[in-house]
Structure 1
Amino acid sequence: MAKAAVVILAGTESHADSGRLVNGLETAREFAKTAGDEVELIFDGAGTQWIPELEDEFHDYHDLYQSVRDEASACDFCAGAFGVDEAIDDAGVVTLDDHDGHPSIRSPVDDDYEIITF
């Protein structure tokens, strides 16, 4: 039984960013599909920009995103800073603000989660 918090920090500007996103989503899906494992998927920083794109059913990675969407959350502060707060609210994705407007990374560490960043 493993516990992981997958944090997507990659923005939407380059092919490399897309690769990091896909690797992060695949990692989250692997944990989600493994019986007994626990996973949290956190979109933070520039990574918050992915949520409105991935919500589009015609996006190449929409289905992959949908496979882990129930585990997804986003940084409240960064969603506003990157101008995607309304789109994230409309999507119904939970925003986290438990550490000065940002998601706490310490809390999952304290709960024995491995932090994996992409």
Structure 2
Amino acid sequence: MTKAAVVILAGTESHADTGRLVNGLETAKEFAQTDGDEVELIFDGAGTQWIPELEDEESDYHELYQAVRDDTSVCDFCAGAFGVEDAVDDAGVVTLDDHDGHPSIRSLVDDDYEIITF
């Protein structure tokens, strides 16, 4: 059994950012589809900006995102800082604020999760 936390930090500004998003989603999907594995997909920092786009059914990446949406959460502080708090709330995506308003990466490490960032 493998436990992985995939953290999307890439924003929405460049082709390279989109590549990092897609690679992160594909990685999370692979873990989600492997029996016995556990995955947490966390959008943090500028990565929180992807939520409104990924929730849009017209997005090129909506279907891929839907494959891992149940394992998805968003940094509470960063959703506000990057102006997507309302979109995250409307989508009903879980927000994390374990450590000063941010997800606790330390807690994930303590729970034996491998941390993979994109």
Give the TM bin, normalised by the shorter chain. Answer: over 0.9
Q: Distance in 2 between matches of 1:107 and 1:29?
A: 22
Q: TM-score, normalised by structure 2?
A: 1.00
Let me know the Cα RMSD of the aligned residues.
Answer: 0.3
**What is the 5 A alignment of 1:24-103?**
24-103=24-103
1:111 pairs with 2:104: no
Where do 4+ consecutive residues of structure 1 move more than 3 Å?
none
| TM-score in terms of structure 1 length | 1.00
**Could you give the per-residue CA deviations for residues 19-40 of structure 1, whole angstroms, max 9, x where no partner exists?**
0000000000000000000000
1:14 counterpart = 2:14: yes
Name structure 1 gaps, 5 residues minimum.
none
Aligned-pair distance for 1:45? 0.1
AA partner of residue 41 (structure 2): L
* % identity of equivalent residues: 86
Q: How many residue pairs get matched?
A: 118
1:104 Cα shift?
A: 0.3
